Chain A
Amino acid sequence: QSVLTQPPSASGTPGQRVTISCSGSSSNIGSNTVNWYRQLPGTAPKLLIYSNDQRPSGVPDRFSGSKSGTSASLAISGLQSEDEADYYCAAWDDSLSGLVFGGGTQLTVL
């Protein structure tokens, strides 16, 4: 049972826009920034979005993040086949004094 709640799966067709939600509480998303990680099959997770809505260099602007209250979301526009991956949200939890993750969302490009 993950502390942050994500839908287990999402899908879209090439070119579409998809969003992935991430729900938490006042001790994590409500008081700290949210980061998103992408994990391609058989590889390590990689930072995709940080500080709620910032993209590291090299991440296309098709990827965007937002946060409101105790929820966050990741949006991917212009969906491409190579976007098929698992996406995880994460935030620091003040009660745990540790990092909490969502359960991950498996994105399928139909």
Chain B
Amino acid sequence: EVQLVQSGAEVKKPGESLRISCKGSGYSFSSFWIIWVRQMPGKGLEWMGRISPSDSYTKYSPSFQGHVTISADKSINTAYLQWSSLKASDTAMYYCARRLNSGRFDPWGQGTLVTVSS
């Protein structure tokens, strides 16, 4: 079964750093882009950026460029999303998803809830 499993919920304070993960299984992880998507409470989906695990080439949405870092370790089939200094406005659910060659995204991870509060 093809699946993406994300790391668990996090509660952090403003200014702290964080890295969340997305582990793929059941397919050739290096062969497909992984994207990250933000969903703020009660809001819609926002594309943050994508990575090609084979060469770690990344592309960020202008809205997130410089605020987050996307990386991947193909040796352990895992992609990451990290912050160096969290803000309260980073409180959201974060999803990873695999891009198939047809341009569709499937499957999606189960989501990681990040709460930033003092």
Contact = CB atoms under 8 A, between A and B. Distances in A.
A18 B108 CA distance: 26
Nearest to A99: B47
What bracket does the count of chain A residues touching chain B fall in?
20 to 34
Contact of B104 (A2, A47, A98): A47
Given A44-B110, A45-B95, A96-B61, A101 B44 contact: yes
Given A35-B105, A44-B110, A2 B44 contact: yes
B102 A100 contact: no
Interface string B50-83: 1000000001011000000000000000000000
Majority SS of interface residues in chain B?
strand
Interface in B83-106: 95, 97, 102-106
Contacts of B44: 2, 86, 88, 101-104
B45 A50 contact: no
A99 B108 contact: no
B34 interface: no
Given A101-B46, A103-B44, A104-B44, A33 B102 contact: yes
Contact of A44 (B46, B50, B102, B108): B108
Contacts of A92: 103
Interface string B37-53: 10000001111011000
Interface of A: 2, 32-33, 35, 37, 44-47, 50-51, 56, 86, 88, 90, 92, 96-104
Interface of B: 35, 37, 44-47, 49-50, 59, 61-62, 95, 97, 102-111
